[in-house]
Structure 1
Amino acid sequence: MPAPSSARKKSNAPRREYRPAAERRVEIIAAAQAEFIRANFAGARTREIAEAAGVNQATLFKHFPTKEVLFEEAVMRPLIEAMQGMHGRVEVYEAAGTPDELSELARQSTINHIEDMERILPLLTTALFSDMEAGRQLFQQRLEPLIRQRGEVLRPLAKSGLDPEFLGLASFGLMFAVALQRCFTGRTDDLSTTAIQFNRLYTSGFARGKSSSPDNED
C-alpha cells in the first residue's frame, strides 16, 4: 500500500483558526497583561504569552518585536491612558445648576474614578514594582505629572492655603487605598456611600473642631 503523500498529510493536519491581525493583537495584549501581572516583567515568558493567546512566538514577535515593546503596549499604554481619563474636568462641576446637581455630579465622578483605579490597580503595581528603577522613572516622568495635573483641576475648588499638588497626591492616594482594599478583600459593595464619604472629606475635612488645632495656637 503506497504511503500517503505529504500533501495528504498536510491536509489532515489541524488548521489554526484564522483571526484578523487586529484581533490577534488584542488577544496577545490580554494574555500579556495576565502574564505580566502574574509573574512581573522579569518572570514573564513570551512563549507562555503566545500559548495563552493561541499564537506561536513568531506571530507574537511580528506584532511586538521584544518583550519590552510588549510590556509598553500591554501595561504602560493602558495604564497611562486610564490615568489621563481619571482627570475630572472643572467644567463638569461648573455645569451644575443647583447644589443637588453638583453633589450628584461629584458622586458619580468619584465612583467612576474609583472604578478606574480598581481596574488598573494590577497594571499599576506591576509597572511600578516589576523593576524598582524602571518604576521610579515611571512615577517621576509619567505618573507624578498626571497627579500634579489632577491637583490643578482641583485648584479652583480648593480652600485658600491648600497646596494643589498635595491635593492631587491625596486624591490619588485615597482612591488607591480604596481600590487596594477592594482588590485584596474581595469587596464588591456599591460605591455610592464611599463616594459620598470622599466628597464630604473633600468639601468639609474630617477634623471635629478648630479650637484645638495647633495652627490656631498663639
Structure 2
Amino acid sequence: MVRLAAAERRQQLLEAARVSFLGAGPNGTKIRDIAAAAHVNEALIYRHFASKQELFEAAIVEPLIKLMDQLQSEARSMPAGTEDQLVSFTRDFYRSLLRTFSETIDLFGTVLFSDRGVGRDFYATHLVPFIDSVVETVHSNLNSWDHEDFNPRIITTMGVGMCWGLAMDSYFREEELDIQFTAEAIMDVVFKGLLKR
C-alpha cells in the first residue's frame, strides 16, 4: 500500500467508492468491495468514514448537492430586463442544466433510483428547492416579456424534465449530446409556445 497524505487518501477512497456505488448501487456495494477497488484494507476506510452511508453521501450525494446549489444560484441571478435578455439568460441556463445532467447522469441515477427512500429524500431536499427557485425567478420576470398565460411551475418542471430526459437519452444511446443545438430546440418549444402571437 502506497503511503498518501490524508487528503489524497480520502480522495482515492472517494473515487473507488464512486465507481463501486455506480456499479452496484448503495445496497449492492460492500465496504470490502471499495477497499479492494482502492487497494487498501477495510480498516483504513473506517479511519476516514464512519460508515458506508457516510461514504455514499461523500462520494455520490455531496457532489450533486454542490451542483444543485450552483444551479440554484444561477437561477436566482437572472436579472430583470428586456425580453431579449430573458431569452439569452434562459438559453444559457438550459445549456448549463443540460451540461450538468449530461456530466452527472450516472450519479443522479444512483441517488434517485437505487434506493427509493434515498431518492425521495434527495428529490425533496435538493431538486424541489431548485425547481422552486427557478419558478420564483420566472414569477419575478413575468412582466419583462409579452407572453401567453401559463403556469410557471408546470413550465419550469417541464423544462428541467426535458433537460433530464434528453441527457438520459443520450447517455443510454451512448451518444454525445449537442448542448448548443439541444438548448436551442428547448428554447423553441418553450418560447415559441409562450410568446404572444
Counterpart code for 1:150: V
Pick from 171, 183, 200 the counterpart of residue 188 of structure 2. 200
The answer for the alignment partner of 2:34 in structure 1 is 49
Shift of 1:206: 8.0
Taking only aligned residues, the RMSD between alpha carbons, in angstroms, comes to 2.7
Pick from 95, 100, 117 the counterpart of residue 116 of structure 1. 100
Shift of 1:61: 0.9
SS of the residue corresponding to residue 111 of structure 1 reads helix
Gaps of at least 5 residues in structure 2 are: none
Shift of 1:117: 0.8
State yes or no: 1:141 paired with 2:115. no
Q: Larger radius of gyration, structure 1 or 2?
A: 1
SS of the residue corresponding to residue 18 of structure 1 reads coil
Separation of aligned partners in 1, 2:122 and 2:77 = 29
Superposed CA offset, 1:52-104 (max 9, x none): 223221111111110011111111111122122223345455578x94x7655
Q: 1:192 to 1:93 in 2, by over 3 A?
A: farther
Structure with the bigger percentage of helix: 2
Q: 1:167 to 1:206 in 2, by over 3 A?
A: closer
Separation of aligned partners in 2, 1:80 and 1:160 = 34
Residues 159 and 186 in structure 2, CA contact (< 8 A), matched pair in contact too: no
Separation of aligned partners in 2, 1:28 and 1:168 = 37
The answer for the alignment partner of 1:13 in structure 2 is none
State yes or no: 1:81 paired with 2:66. yes
Q: 1:160 to 1:63 in 2, by over 3 A?
A: farther
State yes or no: 1:18 paired with 2:12. no
Separation of aligned partners in 2, 1:155 and 1:30 = 40
Give the TM-score, by structure 2 length.
0.83
Gaps of at least 5 residues in structure 1 are: 1-15, 211-218
Residues 26 and 114 in structure 2, CA contact (< 8 A), matched pair in contact too: yes
Shift of 1:155: 2.4
State yes or no: 1:184 paired with 2:172. yes
SS of the residue corresponding to residue 17 of structure 1 reads coil
Separation of aligned partners in 2, 1:112 and 1:37 = 23
RCO comparison, higher one (Cα < 8 Å, 6+): 2
Q: 1:150 to 1:119 in 2, by over 3 A?
A: same
The answer for the alignment partner of 2:160 in structure 1 is 172
Separation of aligned partners in 1, 2:175 and 2:79 = 29
